[in-house]
A and B are shown apart, each in its own frame.
Chain A
């Protein structure tokens, strides 16, 4: 945790935007918890949680233009997709794998997000395959003379893959307007980052590819937002790719099938819980005089009712027609 950058006090965010950030973080947290509870109740096969990552996710996504910039997320990115504009109901249709699941129509696992209008590109499960694709999408923007950028998200484990290295290199050689966002949460399932890499800060590698790399406190939403804003401006201005390493921690197991007590101590988890990005941001907003008890309660109530409503919608959603499993393998018509 050396070289962690502090957020400057002066940021250009309005009070409304600051509270919107807090709202999205709380929404992501609450919806993650809801899915875990629903899974325990036997209402879904599996969940992946974003708990602990909210600052890294909301802070980065907040610097993008929804529906214009492109997103390649990974399964933990509930805070990213909610910030860009997916509704809690759209997330939960994926959890319940309903017929009208906007992500995949019940074809992909939950939290494998996709939303065409919001330019959240459908994701596979192999780690880091999204990285070269994001580079391609960003590069296409450049070729077409557009100012759209792409952001690609992944965890620390992804930085060991060939696809990640190939993507970093390609992006830099072709100056693609892409931002690599590493949600560095210390573990690739059970494997600690010290077994994943021999460097303390993986952002060091960016330099070897000829792009700026920054390590940022991933539990400080404003610091993350600032780093992302810099990177997005550079990409939009023709300066090419950037790499952001947001140091954070997954507060719960990898998935509902994982038992994290096998590979990390209670003390460690508790020490990171004390740095909970949500609690931290609430305190900060309070100190800044922007979030009093009344507003905090209002936001909490709004989130709770939205999550309840989404749960109802998702749970009551139509089941897929079994025979629809045979489709759609190929685009049948040209120009589709």
Chain B
């Protein structure tokens, strides 16, 4: 067992997959010298410049080239330096990678992994902070995971590389160096689409993912100590597919649901979770299905005061829990 940060876990997942299977390559901007977050540190020395490939600064080409290479015996891990810059590649992801298998009636498949550091809280301003998961979770044919712990990052990234479908791996960049976690020495994967119970509780189900999971655990601890409210925290980890059964099972037990997400309130992925609970879990509910998210302004303004005001945090989550608990 070794203690690793999430960033080290991401590094190790790719390193081990490239060792395991010579078809696996990494490609993207600045990856050759280790990447802006250092996720590919030492890769060129170990694997050479043909397996850790600096690309031109062109996201549509990064994804488009990865798609084409994946049809010809390569398993590319394409890095989009920041999720905010995936938008130029939207067409390649949405029109091409996602639709290729369906539109060819199952004759061509596209086993690419696209990594994107995402999320706010790091003074990244409006272009290094966005949450993009709702865009991609909306698209049939793409799998989307959101990781925020070392253990999940490693296990889900490995699953993504081994998946025969296109998988977008959203890594919350604020969690990259948040803490260290002991990881197994042996190879392991985590299945895509399976949520994890992070804290057991009986009064409220709190469904979340990404950095909000860490904030939610803090808030759950606070209300447990101060109010005696027992909150069950579920980390979705995957948003497409997502673990509806696990969420509904929890809501059945607690009767109350709070969905916390970092993205803008309107149309964020939490809206889908809330709608599902409202429709399929109606009989279980003792209070309004509640959403806590960022307001509908571009995420995120640069100045600390502005960014802090926008984002959900443990205090705001605590308040939301108390309000829901009062029903």
Contact across chains for B164 and A166 when beta carbons are under 8 A apart: no
Contact across chains for A173 and B108 when beta carbons are under 8 A apart: no
**Inter-chain contact total with CB atoms closer than 8 Å:** 153
- Give the interface residue-count category, chain A: 35 or more
Q: Is A116 an interface residue (CB 8 A)?
A: yes
- A38 and B133 CA atoms in complex are apart in Å by 44
| Cβ-neighbour of B95 out of A121, A126, A335 (below 8 A) | A126
Asked, given contacts A121-B71, A169-B58, whether A136 binds B65 with beta carbons under 8 Å apart, the answer is yes
Q: Which of A49-57, A304-312, A325-333 contacts B (4 or more CB under 8 A)?
A: A325-333
- In residues 99-115 of chain B, which contact A (Cβ within 8 Å)? 99-109
What B residues does A255 contact at CB under 8 A?
A: none
Contact across chains for B72 and A141 when beta carbons are under 8 A apart: yes
CB-CB nearest in chain B for A152: B68
Q: How far is the CB of A143 from chain B (nearest CB, A)?
A: 6
| Cβ-neighbour of A162 out of B25, B60, B106, B164 (below 8 A) | B60
| Cβ-neighbour of B69 out of A124, A140, A327 (below 8 A) | A140
Contact across chains for A140 and B73 when beta carbons are under 8 A apart: yes
Q: Is A216 an interface residue (CB 8 A)?
A: no
Contact across chains for B107 and A122 when beta carbons are under 8 A apart: yes
A sample of 8 cross-chain residue pairs with beta-carbon separation below 8 angstroms, ordered by A number, consists of: A103-B105, A122-B103, A133-B64, A143-B74, A166-B60, A167-B61, A174-B53, A331-B164
Contact across chains for B61 and A328 when beta carbons are under 8 A apart: no
Q: Is B270 an interface residue (CB 8 A)?
A: no
Asked, given contacts A107-B105, A144-B73, whether A129 binds B68 with beta carbons under 8 Å apart, the answer is no
- In residues 116-155 of chain A, which contact B (Cβ within 8 Å)? 116, 121-122, 124-126, 129, 131-141, 143-144, 148, 150
| Cβ-neighbour of A329 out of B53, B70, B74, B141 (below 8 A) | B141
Q: Is B129 an interface residue (CB 8 A)?
A: no
| Cβ-neighbour of A335 out of B66, B67, B164 (below 8 A) | B164
Asked, given contacts A141-B72, A331-B101, A335-B164, whether A132 binds B65 with beta carbons under 8 Å apart, the answer is yes
Contact across chains for B71 and A137 when beta carbons are under 8 A apart: yes
CB-CB nearest in chain B for A163: B60
What A residues does B99 contact at CB under 8 A?
A: 124
CB-CB nearest in chain B for A170: B61
Q: How far is the CB of A8 from chain B (nearest CB, A)?
A: 34
Contact across chains for A116 and B64 when beta carbons are under 8 A apart: no
Q: Which of B56, B88, B103, B143 has the most CB of A within 10 A?
A: B103
- A138 and B65 CA atoms in complex are apart in Å by 9
Contact across chains for A166 and B165 when beta carbons are under 8 A apart: no
Q: Is A108 an interface residue (CB 8 A)?
A: yes
3 closest A-B pairs by CB: A136-B68, A132-B64, A105-B105
Asked, given contacts A124-B99, A129-B96, A331-B165, whether A166 binds B56 with beta carbons under 8 Å apart, the answer is yes
Q: Per-residue CB proximity of A100-115 to B under 8 Å, as 1/0?
A: 0101111110001010
What B residues does A333 contact at CB under 8 A?
A: 164
Q: How far is the CB of B114 from chain A (nearest CB, A)?
A: 13
CB-CB nearest in chain B for A131: B64
Asked, given contacts A166-B64, A336-B109, whether A137 binds B103 with beta carbons under 8 Å apart, the answer is no
Contact across chains for A135 and B61 when beta carbons are under 8 A apart: yes
- A30 and B112 CA atoms in complex are apart in Å by 40
Contact across chains for A124 and B64 when beta carbons are under 8 A apart: no
What A residues does B106 contact at CB under 8 A?
A: 105, 327-328, 331
What B residues does A126 contact at CB under 8 A?
A: 91, 95-96
Q: Is A262 an interface residue (CB 8 A)?
A: no
Q: Is A334 an interface residue (CB 8 A)?
A: yes
Contact across chains for B105 and A132 when beta carbons are under 8 A apart: no
Q: Is A70 an interface residue (CB 8 A)?
A: yes
What B residues does A141 contact at CB under 8 A?
A: 72
- A174 and B50 CA atoms in complex are apart in Å by 10
Taking A133-B65, A133-B96 as known contacts, 14 extra A-B pairs with beta carbons closer than 8 A to each other, sorted by chain A number, are A72-B68, A112-B103, A121-B71, A124-B100, A125-B95, A132-B67, A136-B64, A136-B65, A137-B68, A140-B74, A144-B74, A148-B72, A163-B64, A170-B58
What B residues does A112 contact at CB under 8 A?
A: 103
- A234 and B144 CA atoms in complex are apart in Å by 40
What A residues does B72 contact at CB under 8 A?
A: 70, 136-137, 140-141, 144, 148
Contact across chains for B91 and A129 when beta carbons are under 8 A apart: yes
Q: How far is the CB of A324 from chain B (nearest CB, A)?
A: 9
CB-CB nearest in chain A for B55: A170
- A104 and B105 CA atoms in complex are apart in Å by 5
Q: How far is the CB of A286 from chain B (nearest CB, A)?
A: 42
What A residues does B64 contact at CB under 8 A?
A: 129, 131-133, 135-136, 163, 166-167
- In residues 156-210 of chain A, which contact B (Cβ within 8 Å)? 162-163, 166-167, 169-170, 173-174
Q: Is B162 an interface residue (CB 8 A)?
A: yes
- A135 and B63 CA atoms in complex are apart in Å by 11
Contact across chains for B69 and A116 when beta carbons are under 8 A apart: no
CB-CB nearest in chain B for A122: B104
Contact across chains for B56 and A121 when beta carbons are under 8 A apart: no
Contact across chains for B103 and A104 when beta carbons are under 8 A apart: yes
CB-CB nearest in chain B for A136: B68
Q: Is B92 an interface residue (CB 8 A)?
A: yes
What B residues does A173 contact at CB under 8 A?
A: 56
